[in-house]
Structure 1
Amino acid sequence: MNSNARNGSDSSEGKLTHFNEQGRARMVDISGKEVTVRTAVAVSKVTMNPSTLEAIREGRIGKGDVLAVAQIAGIQGAKKTSDWIPMCHPLALNGVDIRFEDNGLDELSIQVTVKTEGKTGVEMEALTAASAAALTIYDMCKALQKDMIIGPTMLQSKSGGKNGDFNR
């Protein structure tokens, strides 16, 4: 491990923050940070056969309304991110919005916007929500098609906090 990873310095200086002086994992102390409005947008997609996408659109999936269930799964994923990702702080989320769009052929896109007022950002919550929604789509449609492809999943943008805004 390099010295930057061990020193626990701020990531804005190009150093990792999730390691203590002994090089061991730690949850970053955010007690001194300012509360700001924070927003993150993450995206993912599921690529599938046109017939699978058509079945989703027409409500012919035996397990139920795929997009409604995926939306709930994504919201739950955002709310439970700190249970999944060890160094994430539990956050009170102000809102989670999930939108789906298909390309009319073989791709179902997922866009998640997560907002909070807090001392740390919601990038991981948005990414977890997008992943949970994509995995739920796969789960609900796997009887029709097992070779669906999930991804890429990525942060599209974020705002708030001392490190400023990011736009892909």
Structure 2
Amino acid sequence: MKRAIYPGSFDPMTFGHIDMIERSSKIVDELVVGVLNNSAKNSLFSLDERVSMIKEMTSSIPNVTVASFDGLLVDYMKEIDATIIVRGLRAVTDFEYELQIAQTNHVENPDVETIFLTTNLKYSYLSSSVVREFASYGGDISKFVPEQFIERIYAKYNIIK
């Protein structure tokens, strides 16, 4: 069985994330969306909120599960018996960083492989940081995130729309 993990902070989940999950779930037998619990980061949404939002968006994809983890990704992969990491690439600058991380993970555990999927062109500009920036100023985020998340995101900034 090919079990892969698509790791990230997903703060908040965007249409780009959803696209990556849908596409990668067709390549592997099981896809775990791994939500990183990074206590050093000041997240907009709590870990439980992020996990819940992803579960909400992926409930119709039978081979996708959502779980949180902390620590090293390669250690968590051993726990869940995953050998594939899925990462999305928006631009060349993403590749340089992601290649370094992929090579490091492979050195740490030679059984771990990283699959890079290029982002759908319509989401190539999109990141959670862009969503947070627009939302913090009350900008229109309807082209970035699912409709059911919009009010939740604005509420984090005390913005009522």
TM-score band, normalised by shorter chain: under 0.3
TM normalised by structure 1 equals 0.23
Choose between structure 1 and 2: higher helix proportion.
Answer: 2
Choose between structure 1 and 2: higher strand proportion.
Answer: 1
Structure possessing the higher radius of gyration over alpha carbons: 1
Instruction: Kindly indicate whether structure 1 or structure 2 has the higher relative contact order, using CA contacts under 8 Å at least 6 residues apart.
Output: 1
TM normalised by structure 2 equals 0.23
